[in-house]
């Protein structure tokens, strides 16, 4: 029987953090600040400090300004964003403590803009009276966090793709993967493991393409429960020519007849883009009133975003200004052919599926495994009926990443204090995992990872499948996913980099299956979740979370009633047609 050392290089640590983006680095720092004696190892597929989505976004943090109260935030969120599908207790904890994240990031060296009084310099969303504001952090934040983690004694293992979690009995005790440069096998044994691997974004939009669902799939295969997997179809409206996001386009959409379709599909000011924007675009095409364009001169949000992100008129952020200035100059070059200031737009599929189920301490349902940041954002359930991030609150992604990482780190430290010496891992199961991981490299011919990725994208990106749901169309899409699943056994990898892509393709297939199976089960429309065949919000029958788990190789699904008797805000009973009132 094989021992672990015969399988590859074995590292040992107290806390293993998988993922070197903002959530993983925040977790590593927090563990060391809680207990400096604990050894912390951060493993990252790319390079920790330069990985993840944080350095490619807006660099904004949603927080409660002096004019906002936690009670107002929670009430607004429940009634207008999460639509009563939230864990209201965790939501209140978030509202009461999220502002501490700004102080933490500042103490770790990240640059957050301040006003002359030394307070966080913030803006409010124009035209929308919402109980939060946006602070600005520079896009080199993760470089500073890596530096701080190094100062505290954290170790790093870069260029290592983690594929499977190691277990001893029912406990997670580490992970196994490989070096993407030379393909050598690497194992890490740990007393506690923190997943910080990001959401599933299906590799469609470049800015979000690093979210490939590896941690979601590894947690699922280790027996962890998933929750809210049906919320994974976020879109931004983008320019057809440049494929860049046009902020606020959803509020100024016009069809080929010159008709204002924004007022038809999304009446009133809303906190952020909603699923009806993509559905409206789709229906205009189906009914012969395409193309859909945006009146650029009326789009104050895009104009304001360019000022906010690419100039120093509001926030002095050198890295962010350089990034966004280049991005928008590239977009402008592609957009110069626009028709009379009305560029054609389309939905840009982002996904943001984040279903790993966690409790209030970010512990998964498997002992020894914790999940923070985007990998468990929807799974934590505080955001409700929306893909998360951004959860219809721009800036909540970065905020939740750090906030949840601190909670997960505290829980991991407490877990270790109650355990004895670190357990090993089942060597025979580890050997089986290694054999599965490397199997694609042994094939002379087969299906490429990129071909598999394209198959999944064809099943998840069309609006008619993932955003405007109906049973027959979802079953068609699920059939495409299951056909791809059948072909997984013939994946072929050319080299270690391609082997990483093969694992990512497996993860995408699994996440897409989760999405459609959970979506078929939820028979209502609520928040971001829209079903053409069930257009009403059904509070009598569907105030439930959908849970799924691997059981002996099959995907089991069931529902869990939301404990409204404990919560302060409750919806009216029965059915409400407000979700699709435009009909």
The structure tokens listed for 446 are: 């087969």
Distance, in Å, from the CA atom of 85 to the CA atom of 446, rounded to the nearest integer, reads: 43
The H-assigned helical ranges of 418-495 are 427-438, 449-460, 463-466, 471-487
Distances (CA, A) of 523 to 238, 514, 533: 30, 16, 8
Task: Give the pLDDT score at 421.
Answer: 65
Task: Give the pLDDT score at 207.
Answer: 87
Distance, in Å, from the CA atom of 580 to the CA atom of 226, rounded to the nearest integer, reads: 28
Neighbours of 185 (CB within 10 A): 18
Distances (CA, A) of 546 to 226, 230, 385, 538: 8, 8, 11, 15
The structure tokens listed for 333 are: 């070059």
Task: Give the pLDDT score at 391.
Answer: 87
Helix, strand, coil shares of the chain, percent, nearest 5, are 40, 20, 40
Distance, in Å, from the CA atom of 16 to the CA atom of 24, rounded to the nearest integer, reads: 10
Helix (H) or strand (E) holding 537: strand 537-538
Q: What is the DSSP letter of 447?
A: B
**Considering Cα of 468, then 473, then 475, then 476, what sign does the dihedral take?**
negative
The structure tokens listed for 120 are: 């966080």
3-class secondary structure, 483? helix
Phi, psi of 376 (to 5 degrees): -130, 20
Task: Give the pLDDT score at 578.
Answer: 55
Strands (E), 342-478: 345-351, 369-371
The structure tokens listed for 128 are: 């929308």
pTM for the whole structure: 0.96
Task: Give the pLDDT score at 1.
Answer: 44
Do residues 106 and 120 lie in contact, with contact meaning Cβ atoms separated by under 8 Å?
no
Distance, in Å, from the CA atom of 548 to the CA atom of 233, rounded to the nearest integer, reads: 18
Sequence-distant (≥ 6) Cβ neighbours of residue 265 within 8 angstroms: 253, 276, 277, 279, 280, 283, 582
CATH number of 234-350: 3.90.700
- The rounded average pLDDT for each run of 10 residues, N- to C-terminus, in the chain (583 residues) is 86 98 98 98 97 92 96 96 97 97 96 90 83 96 98 98 96 97 97 97 91 97 98 94 88 94 81 90 96 89 87 92 89 71 91 98 98 98 95 93 98 89 85 96 93 97 98 98 96 96 97 98 97 96 98 97 96 69 51
């Amino acid at each position: 029987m094989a021992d672990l050392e015969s399988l590859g290089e074995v590292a040992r640590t107290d806390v293993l953090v998988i993922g070197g983006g903002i959530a993983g680095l925040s977790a590593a720092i927090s563990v060391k600040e809680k207990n400096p004696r604990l050894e912390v190892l951060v493993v990252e597929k790319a390079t920790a400090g330069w990985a993840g989505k944080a350095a490619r976004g807006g660099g904004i943090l949603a927080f409660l300004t002096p004019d906002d109260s936690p009670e107002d935030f929670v009430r607004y969120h429940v009634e207008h964003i999460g639509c009563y599908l939230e864990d209201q207790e965790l939501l209140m904890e978030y509202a009461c403590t999220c502002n501490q994240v700004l102080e933490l990031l500042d103490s770790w060296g990240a640059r957050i803009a301040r006003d002359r009084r030394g307070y966080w310099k913030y803006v409010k969303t124009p035209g929308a009276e919402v109980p939060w504001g946006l602070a600005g952090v520079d896009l080199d934040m993760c470089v500073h966090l890596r530096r701080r983690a190094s100062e505290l004694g954290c170790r790093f293992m870069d260029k290592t793709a983690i594929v499977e979690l190691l277990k001893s009995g029912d406990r997670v005790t580490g992970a196994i993967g490989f070096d993407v440069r030379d393909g050598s096998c690497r194992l890490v044994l740990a007393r506690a493991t923190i997943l910080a691997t990001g959401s599933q974004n299906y590799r469609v939009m470049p800015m979000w393409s690093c979210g490939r669902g590896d941690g979601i799939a590894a947690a699922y295969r280790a027996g962890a429960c998933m929750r809210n997997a049906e919320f994974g179809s976020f879109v931004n409206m983008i320019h057809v020519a440049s494929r860049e996001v046009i902020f606020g386009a959803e509020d100024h959409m016009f069809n080929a007849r010159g008709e204002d379709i924004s007022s038809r599909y999304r009446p009133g000011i809303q906190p952020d883009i909603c699923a009806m924007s993509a559905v409206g675009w789709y229906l205009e095409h189906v009914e012969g009133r395409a193309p859909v364009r945006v009146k650029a001169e009326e789009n104050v949000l895009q104009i304001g975003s360019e000022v906010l992100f690419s100039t120093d008129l509001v926030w002095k952020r050198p890295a962010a200004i350089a990034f966004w200035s280049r991005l928008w100059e590239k977009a402008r070059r592609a957009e110069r052919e626009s028709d009379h200031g009305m560029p054609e737009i389309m939905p840009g599929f982002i996904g943001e599926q984040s279903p790993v189920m966690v409790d209030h301490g970010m512990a998964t349902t498997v002992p020894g495994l914790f999940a923070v940041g985007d990998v468990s954002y929807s799974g934590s359930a505080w955001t409700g009926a929306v893909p998360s991030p951004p959860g219809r609150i721009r800036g909540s992604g970065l905020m939740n990443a750090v906030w949840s990482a601190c909670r997960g780190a505290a829980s991991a430290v407490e877990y270790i204090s109650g355990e004895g010496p670190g357990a090993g891992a089942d060597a025979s199961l580890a050997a089986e995992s290694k054999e599965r991981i490397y199997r694609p490299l042994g094939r002379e011919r087969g299906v490429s990872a990129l071909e598999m990725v394209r198959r999944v994208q064809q099943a998840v990106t069309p609006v008619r499948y993932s955003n405007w749901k109906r049973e027959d169309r979802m079953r068609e899409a699920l059939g495409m996913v299951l056909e791809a699943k059948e072909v997984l056994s013939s994946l072929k990898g050319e080299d270690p980099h391609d082997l990483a892509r093969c694992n990512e393709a497996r993860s995408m297939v699994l996440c897409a299956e989760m999405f459609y199976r959970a979506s078929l089960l939820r028979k209502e429309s609520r928040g971001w979740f829209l079903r053409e065949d069930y257009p009403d919000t059904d509070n009598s029958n569907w105030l439930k979370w959908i849970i799924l788990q691997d059981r002996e190789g099959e995907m089991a699904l069931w529902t869990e009633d939301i404990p409204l008797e404990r919560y302060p805000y409750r919806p009216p009973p029965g059915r409400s047609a407000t979700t699709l009132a435009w009909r």
